[in-house]
Amino acid sequence: MTARHLVTRFAVVASLFCLLGCTSSGSLTTHQSAYECVRHAKQVLYDADFSENPVVSRETASVSGRHGGYEATVHCDSVDQVILVDVKGLDATQSEWYRDVIIRKF
């Protein structure tokens, strides 16, 4: 294997890593029902400007939306009384910042 092949393979692997992005996850406790949590999560994502391509799933009690190159998902678990927040994007620091903004709005 030549050096050129190694460089090409490294470039492909690095590109795939960048496309996958970084996910930042967080959670908080709640006393809301799944219905109330989903309703509140819709408003929180809208207020945090994650209003592109909104998806609401009452079956899985989750809400997701996009903002630029970032996607946020809020999962409501009324049994364990936990709200899980996931933000995916290319910049880990920015993903964490968006996650914290969403959590603070709850």
**CATH number, domain at 57?**
3.30.310.50
Give the HSE-up count for residue 84: Cα atoms under 13 Å, Cβ half-sphere. 12
Residue 2 lies in a domain: no
Residue 20 has a pLDDT of 53
- The whole domain housing 35 covers 21-105
Residue 15 lies in a domain: no
Residue 22 has a pLDDT of 85
Q: How many residues does the chain have?
A: 106
* DSSP 8-state symbol, 19: H
pTM recorded for the entire structure? 0.78
pLDDT digit string (tens) for the chain, length 106 residues = 554 443 344 444 444 444 457 899 999 999 999 999 999 999 999 999 999 999 999 999 999 999 999 999 999 998 999 999 999 999 999 999 999 999 999 8
